[in-house]
A and B are shown apart, each in its own frame.
Chain A
Amino acid sequence: MSAHSQIVLEARNVTRSYGAETILDDVSLQVRAGQVTTIVGPSGSGKTTLLALLALLLEPTSGEIRIDGVDAGTLSDGERSRLRNIFYGFIFQSAQLVGSLSVLDNVLLPAFLAGRTRERREFAHDLLDRLGLSARASFLPHQLSLGQKRRVALARALVLRPSVILADEPTNDLDARRASQVADFLLSLPGEGFALVLVTHDRALAERAGNRWEIREGKLTPPVRAPVLHLDLPERHVSETANNETI
C-alpha cells in the first residue's frame, strides 16, 4: 500500500464547535484510495463528529472537507446528498436497517435512492452471498441476529461501490468471533481499492487495521512513524512508512 496513492478525502484545518464548546479543533487528515485510516480515541473525544464531518453529514465551523480535491463547502445540498449516496458507504454504530424492508431491499436502499435498483440487484445478491446471508435475503431485520444485521449494513455500504467506506465502531456489541468476521471483511476492502475510514475503540481491530490516528479532546494526532527494515533489498536500509506496514 503506497503512502502516495491518490488522496480521495481530506480534512483541512477543520474545527467544529457547538456554541462555546469546541468538539474538533483544527483537525487535518488525508484519506487515500486503497488504504485504511483508523481513528481511535476515548468516548466523547470527537471521533463520531469527525466521521460525520468527513461524511458530509455535518458542516465544519471552519476549515474544509475536500473530496477528490473539491471543497465540499462550495457544493449545494443536492450535490452533497448525491456524494453521500455514491461516494460514501456508511456503516453506522448500530446497523440502522429499515424494519419495513427485507434484507435485500435494505442492501439496495442506496440504489433505491439513486434510482439504480435494477442495475445493482445482482451485485447486492453477490454481496449477500459473500457475507453468508443469501438464504436470508427475504428476511426482515427483526428476524436477524446482531451479527447478521451488521453484515447487512456492510453489504448496504458497498452496494453502489463507493470510493470511501466510513465505519463507526463496526464491531461494537459483537462477540469475538463475529467481530473477527466483520473485521476480516472490512480489512479486505482496501485490497479491492476502497478507502476505509475506521472509527473504533476496539484495540484489537485498531492494531490489525494500522495507520492509527488518535483523537483526544478534539485534537487529532497522526500515526507514529516507525523505522522499517526492508529485508528484500541488497543493502539494509531504513525507510519510513506507516505503522501498519509489515516489518
Chain B
Amino acid sequence: MLRLIANSLLRRRWQSLATILGVALGAGLLLAVFLLYRGFDQGLERGRQRLGADLLVVPSTATVDPDKALFAGSPLSVYMDKRFADEARKVPGVRRVEAQFFTQSLHLECCSVGIETRLIGIEGQVIQRLASMSPEGRDLLEKDEVIVGSELLGGIGKSGALIELLGEIFRLAFRLEATGTSLDYSILMPMDSARDLAAKSEALKPVWQDAGDPHQLISALLVEVTDPGRIKEVGRALEDLGPLKVIRAADTFQRFKRLMDAFVFVLAAAGLLTALGGVAYLLGHFSSVAWDRKGEWALYRALGATKPRMVQLVVGESTALSLGGALLGLPLGYGLYRLAFARLASQNAFPFIPPGNALLLAAAVGALLLYGCIGFLSAAGPALRVAQLEPALTMAQGDID
C-alpha cells in the first residue's frame, strides 16, 4: 500500500509539491506564531515575577518609557544625585530602595548578537535578588566580578572566566537565567566598579561635565513599599524629595498586560486561523482529488480493495502530504520565529523568553501531529465517499490517466 501511495504522489509530483508547499507555509506560520506566543506569554509572566518593585523613581527630566523600563529592563541613560537613594529610604512607608547606575553600551565582537551590551552598576541588595535567578548565584560580588545576562558569552562564559571590559579585566561570577528583557544582554557589576569605568570612559566625559562626578550619581531607584494601599501616598512623598518622576508599577503593569493580552490574542487568532485555513485547503484539495480520480479508485475496488483499504489509501496519501508539508514547514517556521525574535530583541520592545529546547521539540512534534491529524481528518470525508464508489463503475470507463 505504501508503494501505491508513494507512486501516486511521485507521479503527480507538481500537484503533490504544491500541496506540500501549501501545508509547509501554514505549518511554518503556525509554529512561528506558537513560539512567539509562548515567548511573550512566558516573558510577561517572568516580567511580573521579577518586578520586585512597586515604584520606579527617575529624574524628572528623563524621557523614559515606563513599560520598557519596568518590564523590558531598558537602560536609563539619565543621572541624578545618589543622595536621593538615602533620602528615599527615609520616606515613611518605604520598605526597600535599590539604586542602579547605567553606563555605556558595548559591542562584544566575540559573541554579540547584533544587540548592544549594557553595563549596569547595581547595589548589594540587587545582587542578592539576582542571585535567586541563577543556580550558581551568590549574594556578594567582588569589585572585579560581574554577572552576565543569559544571552551573553554563550559557551565560554563559565563562572570564573576572565573578560575584558573597556580595558579592565573582570571575573565572571555567574550567569543569569533568561528573563526575556534587556537584562539578558546586560553585564552587571558592583555600583562603584561601574562608576569607575564610566569615569574613565572618553565617550561619557561630556555627560559627566554636565551631570557631575559619576561616583556621586545614580540612574534610577526601585522602591518597594510596606503597604500597597499607600503607594500613591509614598509616590507623592518621593516626588517631593526633588525633581523626580515616580512611575507606579501596578498601573504600568496593568496597561502593559492589556497591551500584551491584545497582542497575544492576535497571535493566537492568527495561529487558529492558520490551522483552520489548512483544514479548509486540504479538505478542498482532497475532495477534488477524490472526484478527479474516482476512475482509479473504482478500479481498485473492482480489483478487490476493501472499503477500509480504500480509506487507508486516500487517507494515507493525504496524511503523507500533510506530514511532508509539516516537516518542511518546521525549519521555515523556526527561521521565521528567529527572525521575528531577533527583530524584537534588537528593539527591546517586549519581555520575551525564548522557548527552551524541550518546548521547541514539543512544538515541532505538536505541529507534525496537528498537521497529521488535519491531513487525516480532511481526507476522511472524501475517503469515505471513495469507499462507497460502485466498483461496477470501472466497467464503463475508459483508460485512467
Would you call A100 an interface residue if the criterion is a C-beta within 8 Å of the partner chain's C-beta atoms?
A: yes
**Interchain CB contact under 8 A, B399 and A94:** yes
Query: Do A95 and B391 touch (CB < 8 A)?
Result: no
User: With an 8 A cutoff between CB atoms, is B346 at the interface?
Assistant: no
Tell me whether B7 is interfacial, beta carbon within 8 Å. yes
- Docked complex: B342-401 residues within 8 A CB-CB of A: 390-392, 394-401
Cβ of A234 under 8 Å from chain B: no
Residues in B whose Cβ lies below 8 Å from that of A127:
none
CB distance from A137 to the nearest CB of B (A): 14
Number of A residues, CB within 8 Å of B? 38
Q: Are B305 and A90 in contact (CB under 8 A)?
A: no
Interchain CB contact under 8 A, A82 and B304 = yes
Contact A58 B4 (CB under 8 A): no
B3 contacts chain A at the CB level, 8 A cutoff: yes
The reply to whether B401 and A105 form a contact with Cβ atoms under 8 Å apart is no
Q: Which residues of A contact B390 (CB under 8 A)?
A: 57-58
Chain B residues within 8 Å of A168, by CB: 395
A98 x B299 contact (CB < 8 A): yes
What are the residues of chain A within 8 A of B396 when measuring CB–CB?
A: 48
Is the pair B397, A94 in contact by a Cβ cutoff of 8 Å?
yes
Note all chain B residues with C-beta closer than 8 A to A100.
7-8, 10-12
Among the listed A85, A92, A99, A141, which residue makes an inter-chain contact with B395, where contact means beta carbons less than 8 Å apart? A92
A84's partner among B8, B302, B399 (CB-CB below 8 A) is B302
Q: Are A81 and B399 in contact (CB under 8 A)?
A: no
Q: A51-B395, A52-B392, A84-B303 are in contact. Are A117 and B400 (CB under 8 A)?
A: no
Q: Are B304 and A110 in contact (CB under 8 A)?
A: yes
Q: Is the interface of A mostly helix, strand, loop or mixed?
A: helix
Looking at chain B's contact residues, the main secondary structure is helix
B195 contacts partner chain A, Cβ-Cβ < 8 Å: no
Cβ-defined contact, B303 with A85, below 8 A: yes
Q: Is the CB of A114 within 8 A of B395?
A: no
Which B residues are CB-close (under 8 A) to A77?
Answer: 306-307
| Shortest CB distance A87–B (Å) | 9
**Chain A residue nearest to B4 in the complex (CB):** A112
| Interface range, B side | 20 to 34
Q: Does B309 contact A (CB under 8 A)?
A: yes
Bound form: Cα–Cα A95–B300 in Å: 14
| Residue interface bits B294-319, CB-to-A below 8 A is 1, else 0 | 00100111111111110000000000
- Does A57 lie within 8 Å of B401, measured CB to CB? no
Q: Are A98 and B306 in contact (CB under 8 A)?
A: no
A97 to B295, CA, bound (A): 11
B307-A90 in contact (CB<8A): no
Residues of A contacting B4 in the complex (Cβ-Cβ under 8 angstroms): 101, 109, 112
Question: Are the CB atoms of B302 and A57 closer together than 8 Å?
Answer: yes
A69 within 8 A of B: no
Taking a contact as CB atoms under 8 Å apart, the answer to whether A113 and B300 are in contact is yes
Q: Shortest CB–CB separation between residue A220 and chain B, in angstroms?
A: 18
B304 touches A81 (CB 8 A): yes
Bound: A191/B102 CA distance, A: 100
A78 within 8 A of B: yes
**What are some 10 contacts across the A-B interface (CB < 8 A)?**
A48-B395, A55-B302, A57-B390, A57-B392, A84-B302, A93-B395, A96-B394, A97-B400, A109-B303, A149-B399
- Interface residues, chain A, with chain B CB atoms under 8 Å away: 48, 51-52, 55, 57-58, 77-78, 81-86, 90, 92-102, 105, 109-110, 112-115, 117, 141-142, 149, 168
Beyond A52-B392, A101-B7: 8 further Cβ-contacts under 8 Å? Answer: A57-B395, A82-B306, A94-B398, A96-B299, A98-B299, A100-B7, A100-B8, A117-B3
Closest CB pairs A-B (n = 3): A85-B304, A100-B11, A57-B392
